[in-house]
Every structure is written in C-alpha cells, then in structure tokens.
Amino acid sequence: MPSPPPDWVKALKPAGPQGSELLAQERAQSNVNVEKLSEYLHTKAALERQDKLVALLQPEKVFDKSQNHSLGRVERLQRSLAKAKRLQQIAEQQKWNMEELHTANELIGEPTPYGLHASMFLVTLREQGTPEQHKLFLERAQKYQIIGCYAQTELGHGSNVRGLETTATWNSDDKTFTINSPTLTASKWWIGSLGRTANHAVVMAQLFIDGKSFGPHPFVVQVRDLETHQPLENVYVGDIGPKFGYNTMDNGFLLFNKVKIPHVNMLARFSRIDKDTNKYLRPALPTLVYGTLTWVRSNIVLQAGGVLARGVTIATRYAAVRRQFQDRDAEPHAGENQVLNYKMVQVRLLPLLASMYALHFTGRGMMALYEQNQSRMKAASSPGQDSRGAGPEELRAGADLLADLHATSCGLKALASTTAGEGLEVCRRACGGHGYSSYSGIGPYYSDYLPTLTWEGDNYMLTQQVARYLLKSARAVLSGKSADNDTSRILRNYLNRRDKGASFDVLEEDADIVAAFAWRTAHLTFEALKHRDAEKRSWNSLLVDFWRLSTAHSQYLVVKNFYEAVSSPQLASALDQETKSLMHSLFRLYALHTLEREAAEFFSSGAVTVRQITLTRTTAVMKLLDEIRPHAVRLVDAWAIPDWQLDSSLGRSDGQVYEDLFRRASQENPVNDLVFDPYPWNKALLKNEPAKSKL
C-alpha cells in the first residue's frame, strides 16, 4: 500500500463546521428515542446478536473490506471463499444457530460461494427428500462433506420452469436415470455456488418415462470428484463470468452428456417412480412447494426495508454533513446550507425514509400472515394441480387461502424489491459526485442487490399472477360467491358505493387515505375485468393494464399494513407520543407522496378530486417534509446499521466523511502504488517496474 502522507497533510482538518458537529446538532434537535425505536423495529435480541458478531468478526483480518472494490474477479472470489470457510469454522466452534449465521453473513457484506449450499441446497433436500434421502444426502450436506447448489434456470429459460430443456430419462432396464442436455440453451446457467465450488447439484430436469414427459423434477447429481474437485466425466461445468454485481459468487453453467444416476437420486417426497412397475406416482402435496416460494418472497419484502435503509442511512447522514451554496433567501455570510435543508433533496430522500419503514412493517405483516396460514393451508390444499403457466386466471378449488397469500406475496415482492433497488440508486445520486465513488458504499451494494428484482419471479412477470387473482375475486364478488377476505371486501365496497362516489378526505383522515387506495385498486380491477370478460380482449394485450393493477394493489397493501402498524396498540405501548406521531407522519408522507405520483389513476377512478391532488402536492407533502426533516438523522440511526456493515465513508455514524474518504483514497488504494510513464510514445507503462507487462 502507498506510503503514509507527510505530516502537513496529516495535520489538516476539514473546513468547519465538522461533520461530527453537524451530526451532533442533528441529533440534538430531535427527541426520538433511538434505542426504543430500534428495539421495537428489530427486537433487543437481534440488536445484541448484531453487536456481539460485529465485535467478533470485524477484528479478523480475513474479513477486511478495504480492497473489495479494487480487486480483480479471480482474486475477489478466492478471498470470498476464504471468508466463507472462516465463517463456517467459527460457526462450528461457537455452535451458531441459523439466525447467527445469517446475521454474520449480512455483516461481512458480500455473497459467498457457500451461499446456495447453505440456503437452497439444504432447503430442497430437507423439504423434498425422503428420510432415506435425508440420510444419504442431507446429513452429509449439513456437515459440508458434500457441497451443493440448486440448478434450475437454463441459458434459454428463466421464469418458465415448464420450458426447461434438460432431460432425465428413466431406464427401466437398469433402474437409473440418464441426465442429458440436448441443446446449448439447455445449459444450466446462473446457478450460484456451482461455478467453482459445489460438487453436487439439485438439478431440475424434464422427467421422461417411456417417451412420455412428466414435467420438471428435482434430481441430486454429483458433478465434481470429491478428491480432485475436477468435473466428472461427461459433465461440463464452470463459472459464467463477470457480472454487474455478485462477483463474489461463482454463478455456474452445467451441461450433461448422458450421465447416469441411480433411482434414489430423484428427490421423492412428493413424486416418484415405482422401481418395480416403472409407474410415475403423482405429487401428493404440490402446493407446499408453492408455500416455500411464498415464504421466500415474504422474506424479500421484509429485507427490502433493510436494504433501502442502508442507502437512506448513508444519503441522509451525508446530506446533513455536506453543505452547498448559501440559501438564496438567507442573510449574507450565513455560511453554506446543509444539503438536507434543500427541498429538492428532501423530496428525494424523505419519502424513501418513509418507504423503508413502510416496507419493514409490511414485511412483518406478511410474515405474520404466512405463519397464520401455514397450518390451515396444509389442511386446505388438495391434489391435482399440476399445470401452471404465467397467465391462466382460473384457479382450482381448494387453494383459496394459498392463492390469497400467494397473490399478495407476488405483487409485494415486485413492488418492494423495485422500490428498494431504485431507491438505492436515488440515494446514490442524491449524494452528488461522491456518490459515484465506491467508498460511498451505495454503488457496490446496489449492484449486488439488483438481481433480486429478477429472481424468485421477475418483477414484471409476477404482476400477472396478481391480476389473475384479482379478476377471479371480482368475478366471485359479482356472482355473489365471494370469500370473506380483505380483497373481496374492498371490491364489494366499491360496487356498493360506486354510484354515490367516493369523497374520501385524504388530507385530513388517515383511514380515508387507505380507503382511497382500496378504491383505486377496485376501480382498476373492474376496468380490467370489463376488458377481459365483456370486451374479450386478449390476455397479451392487457399485460400493461395488469401490471398497473398489480402495482396499485400492492401499494394499497403497503399503505394498509403501514396504517395498521402505526395504529397498533403494540406500537403505542412501545413508543413515546412524539415518536408515535412521527410514525404517523411517515405513513402520511409515504401514502400522499405515492398518491401524488400516481395522480392520474386516483382522479380518473374518482377516489380524489383534482383539487385534493393539487393540495397534496403544494401543501400537504411540503408540510410533512418540514415535520420529518429535524428527525431524519435519528430516524435512520434507529435502524441501527453498524458502520462496519455500511462500509461507507459518506454514511459514517460519526460524520467523519471527509477524513475517511481521504484516508481510503490515499492509504487503501493500490493504484497509488504505481508510478506511470505518461508519454504515448514510451510503450513502458510504469516507471517503477520493468517494461514487461501482463497485457
């Protein structure tokens, strides 16, 4: 690393007022009890766990983050594997539970090559394997004696699982399966942990018996030798190359040239082949698979709040420290104004601050709903649902509860991850020039988060499932056979009041805000139904309407969940009056800012008048920004993200923004080790190295 700067540089301080003073001032002007609010958001146990793990992990050299953004792909992956190994060693020594391991992974701040082994491989073996298969695969996998991944998507096939091309053909003569890749587009692709790390994979392949296809099924396939770690014969596997982010993960490709595997390698808890009769036995409980996906999506919603919180924490603290221009209306010599005082900065950051709370409470609400439905769902689901495309809106009987939660989770996953992903970029840009530096901590994190917008269901594809569910519910309401749930309730309410009109007082009554969002969803639902059923428009031509409908419905759910959370007795008893009313302000800001952005849909559905929208825009939102502004720093402090996790010069909790940027640039930047020869006609690139070059 570069030599330390001369003494005269070490002696320099940033121009006053110092970042630390500005943040102290910010914290002094608000009475929000940060500790109480943190505990309410995360629980005391989670905060203590976080503190304990930061203290344990941060001092270890292997977890150092300073070079992350300067390294090449190959070296980054090597280091990431070293981190993953060390983490697993500590986990074993300290007998960590899942939550501890999860928190530790969050803190080290990058996906590691063990990622898919620890999540999807173990989960799939556990949920889809028989007791015999648990003994054979799961037990060894839990001890990391075999390391695996989950190989579903292919080079030519993502969201449409039915379109997968990899085949698994049953050989009745020797009771084996032949796994084969018939085309190049059949290559497994994007498979995390597979590229260089895993020696096993759960492979999703089209099952063929006697020339007949039975759709995609999971098979456990060994892909690398346990001794040499080289690919087995007729297996072709490797890493797919550099990406936008996620470069510490070895996403892999995988091709098979007629590889035979034994009968026991087909995961058989839900469907299997009878060895003796060669008959396929149908899935017993296919909806449970659905359930896992729903759980994963609920988790994404909950996490989205935390993801956004990282960007908002950094941008808010930095906007409090950074000063630019004098206020045009201020006294001369007032000094430059904190950027956070600019309305143009507030209108970008504070609604996101409100969003992170909104998503957090919505995620909480969904997890609760999921837990509630879990037991009822097992009883209510029934066999016979084996066809699933992206579109069909007819649902099979017996799965209503699941459908409700499933539709909810699809739409919210799409909205929440889009809000968080795009919100991070807004935060990065709000940091001005320094937001472009990797040391801002936002850019690299944004790059790592972006795949969430695509995986577990592409955000645009998912919106069809929401629309399908809403149309079905609307038909049921019209035929008088609606279920007793919230969706049916808002649709019925709309039908009953449609003639009278809405007249919601969104500027004064919080409950009316929720009602206006419900009204807009119901209106759009019946409009879409008219297009589909009365005008017989094609499914494809309605996709844009469906996407709008899904967004509207999900925004309604967030507004509703947020409202219920801030009005709940739990919140009232946990927080003081001032903080509680601030939570209400955040709710209003989220809701009214959304309403204003989607103004056209609100007034054309008749939920609000143009006058109300004008007032929302010119008065209500402005007032809320003023109300929340003094508390902004404390509201992000309450999220309790450790500095080590933020890994940001701009977002440091002590406000030493400029000292840290300078320290990293001058002390942790390997480019400054190189002295170049700048002249074009000298082919030598460096002054301090012989002319030989790797290029």
Residues 280, 214: contact at Cβ < 8 Å?
yes
Min separation Cβ 24 and another protein, Å: 18
Contacts of 630 (CB under 8 A, 6+ apart): 26, 29, 30
Choice from 160, 172, 374, 568 touching another protein (CB under 8 A): 160
Q: Which of residues 287-316 bind another protein (CB under 8 A)?
A: none
Q: Which of residues 127-146 bind another protein (CB under 8 A)?
A: 144
Choice from 21, 51, 75, 132 touching another protein (CB under 8 A): 75
Closer CB to another protein, residue 44 or residue 343? 343
Q: Which residue matches tokens 């309305």?
A: 343
Residue 391 binds to another protein (criterion: CB under 8 A): yes
Closer CB to another protein, residue 69 or residue 489? 69
Q: Which of residues 428-457 bind another protein (CB under 8 A)?
A: 428-429, 432-433, 435-439, 443, 450-451, 453-455
Separation of first and last alpha carbons in the chain:
22
Tokens representing residue 259 in the block: 């590889």
Please choose, out of 66-74, 167-175, 376-384, 503-511, the segment that lies near another protein by the rule CB under 8 A: 66-74
Min separation Cβ 37 and another protein, Å: 28
Q: Which of residues 452-481 bind another protein (CB under 8 A)?
A: 453-455, 458, 460, 463
Question: What CA–CA distance (Å, rounded) separates 226 from 199?
Answer: 7
Q: Which of 198, 250, 243, 193 is nearest to 77 (CA)?
A: 250
Residues 263, 255: contact at Cβ < 8 Å?
no
Closer CB to another protein, residue 417 or residue 579? 417
Choice from 129, 195, 305, 365 touching another protein (CB under 8 A): 195
Min separation Cβ 109 and another protein, Å: 15
Choice from 136, 201, 613, 633 touching another protein (CB under 8 A): 613
Please choose, out of 260-268, 291-299, 398-406, 663-671, the segment that lies near another protein by the rule CB under 8 A: 663-671
Tokens representing residue 547 in the block: 């996407």
**456 among known catalytic residues:** yes
Please choose, out of 102-110, 148-156, 557-565, 637-645, the segment that lies near another protein by the rule CB under 8 A: 148-156
Residue 324 binds to another protein (criterion: CB under 8 A): yes
Q: Which of residues 228-247 bind another protein (CB under 8 A)?
A: 228-230, 234, 236, 238-246
Choice from 67, 142, 278, 373 touching another protein (CB under 8 A): 67
Question: What CA–CA distance (Å, rounded) separates 155 from 165?
Answer: 10
Residue 675 binds to another protein (criterion: CB under 8 A): yes
Min separation Cβ 357 and another protein, Å: 22
The one-letter code for the residue type at 525 is T
Residue 282 binds to another protein (criterion: CB under 8 A): no
Q: Which of residues 589-608 bind another protein (CB under 8 A)?
A: 599-600, 603-604
Min separation Cβ 338 and another protein, Å: 12
Angle among Cα 658, 662, 666 to the nearest 5 degrees reads 175
Q: Would you call 225 helix, strand, or coil by DSSP?
A: coil
Closer CB to another protein, residue 129 or residue 443? 443
Question: What CA–CA distance (Å, rounded) separates 419 from 441?
Answer: 18
Residues 264, 133: contact at Cβ < 8 Å?
yes
Question: What CA–CA distance (Å, rounded) separates 299 from 354?
Answer: 19
Residue 9 binds to another protein (criterion: CB under 8 A): yes
Residue 333 binds to another protein (criterion: CB under 8 A): no
Helix (H) or strand (E) holding 100: helix 98-108
Please choose, out of 7-15, 481-489, 497-505, 565-573, the segment that lies near another protein by the rule CB under 8 A: 7-15
Question: What CA–CA distance (Å, rounded) separates 283 from 386?
Answer: 8
Choice from 5, 17, 630, 642 touching another protein (CB under 8 A): 5
Contacts of 243 (CB under 8 A, 6+ apart): 251
Choice from 114, 357, 504, 590 touching another protein (CB under 8 A): 114
Closer CB to another protein, residue 370 or residue 546? 546
Q: Which residue matches tokens 């063929």?
A: 208
Closer CB to another protein, residue 153 or residue 294? 153
Q: Is 153 annotated as a binding residue?
A: yes
- Calculate the dihedral angle through the C-alpha atoms of 226, 230, 232, 237, rounding to the nearest 10 degrees: 120
Catalytic residue among 26, 110, 154, 456: 456
Question: What CA–CA distance (Å, rounded) separates 66 from 1?
Answer: 11
Closer CB to another protein, residue 285 or residue 455? 455
Contacts of 275 (CB under 8 A, 6+ apart): 175, 263
Q: Which of 643, 637, 655, 642 is nearest to 33 (CA)?
A: 637
Residues 609, 512: contact at Cβ < 8 Å?
no
Residue 187 binds to another protein (criterion: CB under 8 A): yes
Q: What are phi and psi of 208, to 5 degrees?
A: -120, 125
Task: HSE, CB side, 13 Å, CA atoms: give it for residue 206.
Answer: 19
Question: What CA–CA distance (Å, rounded) separates 214 from 281?
Answer: 10
- Other beta carbons within 10 angstroms of residue 343's beta carbon come to 13
Residue 681 binds to another protein (criterion: CB under 8 A): yes
Q: Which of residues 501-560 bind another protein (CB under 8 A)?
A: 538-547
Min separation Cβ 539 and another protein, Å: 5
Q: Considering CB under 8 A, how many residues would be counted as binding another protein?
A: 161
Closer CB to another protein, residue 24 or residue 90? 90
Q: Could you tell me which residues are annotated as the binding site?
A: 153, 192
Catalytic residue numbers, as ranges: 456
